[in-house]
Amino acid sequence: MTLIDETTPKTSAAWTREQVLALLDLPFMDLVRRAAEVHARHWPQGDIELASLLSIKTGGCPEDCGYCPQSSRHDTGVAAAKMLDVDEVLAKARAAKAAGATRFCMGAAWRSPKDRDVEKVAALVREVHALGLETCATLGMLEPQQARTLREAGLDYYNHNLDTAPEFYGEVIGTRVYEDRLQTLRHVREAGLKVCCGGIVGMGETRAHRAGLIAELAALDPAPDSVPINSLVRVPGTPLADAPPVDPFELVRVVAAARIVMPRSRVRLSAGRRELGDGIQALCFLAGANSIFYCDQLLVTGNADAEDDRKLLARLNLSPTKKEVSA
């Protein structure tokens, strides 16, 4: 099958899943080499964005997502907690900025927030934005007015992942449908927010399903500004706790394909990065990853140590992104 030249302007539907699968099926070194060339062309500075993530409201989610330890349907030992207050969040945000992070992401375990919840998050957004950090939130499904409220408060990005291909989605989640996620993404774009949207590798999906996910992401118009690539963290008590591990080179393939198909998006190594090891992470950076979650914990699961991250980037001669938003 002929592969599309990513340098040619194309419509949002230009990359079919068959073409993405053809990418994923390329010989490994050929795929990584091609992705590295695309990355160098579109991101010549070669910087790595450091994004910090904080759970501002943990546990008690009514959804049944098979990978999530925060679901009230799974016995994982994660208790429902109240939303953090402003002082707690600001202390974490200041620490993240001092450590070099340029984006601060706030996550809450809601299926869909109430308006009063959105107002509380908006107050946090205003305070974090005033510190000179980019702001991001992931709160579940949003209504149009809720998205506008967050944008007016200074929110820069909204995260809402597609997780996997449409035809595999029902194997992982039963409490909402794919269209619900796409609708929230439309509301976010219409409000003028930037989109952070990606998926998870290792939930029992096939390579064809991974191609389907990447094709769906590329078909968003425009493509997501940030694309988090997560490796499943198998948490005891979740339905996917015993999912078979995925060859880490498969994750590199997904990163490479995402870079080629979405050349102007930040591709972020997200959950599961700690288990990859330095060598696989280096391959992911070569294949086009240019953002990482940079904090000791991702919502409720562990993450790579920040000091180790700084050392790894230095060993690879990679520089963190230097930027600050206007307050």
Catalytic one of 151, 181, 210, 268:
268
Q: Quick one: three-class SS letters along 168-234?
A: HHCCCCCCCCHHHHHHHHHHHHHCCCEEECCEEECCCCCHHHHHHHHHHHHHCCCCCCEEEEEECCC
Could you confirm whether 197 is annotated as catalytic? no
For the record, the structure tokens of 267 come out as 């591709």
How far apart (Å, rounded) are the C-alpha atoms in residues 235 and 233? 6
How far apart (Å, rounded) are the C-alpha atoms in residues 155 and 8? 32
Catalytic one of 17, 34, 103, 105:
105
For the record, the structure tokens of 99 come out as 């450590």
Could you confirm whether 284 is annotated as catalytic? no
Of the candidates 58, 38, 19, which has an alpha carbon nearest to the alpha carbon of residue 300?
58
How far apart (Å, rounded) are the C-alpha atoms in residues 294 and 266? 15
Q: Look-up: residue for tokens 């290792």?
A: 202
3-class secondary-structure state, position 32? helix
Name the CA dihedral angle for 162, 163, 166, 172, rounded to a multiple of 10 degrees: -130
Catalytic one of 68, 197, 284, 295:
68
**In this structure, which amino acid lies at residue 118?**
V
Catalytic one of 17, 34, 61, 273:
61
Could you confirm whether 295 is annotated as catalytic? no
Could you confirm whether 61 is annotated as catalytic? yes
Catalytic one of 103, 136, 197, 284:
136
CA-CA distances (angstroms) from residue 62 to 55, 112, 235?
A: 17, 10, 18
Catalytic one of 34, 65, 253, 266:
65
How far apart (Å, rounded) are the C-alpha atoms in residues 72 and 139? 16
Catalytic one of 103, 151, 196, 259:
196
Active site residues: 61, 65, 68, 105, 136, 196, 268
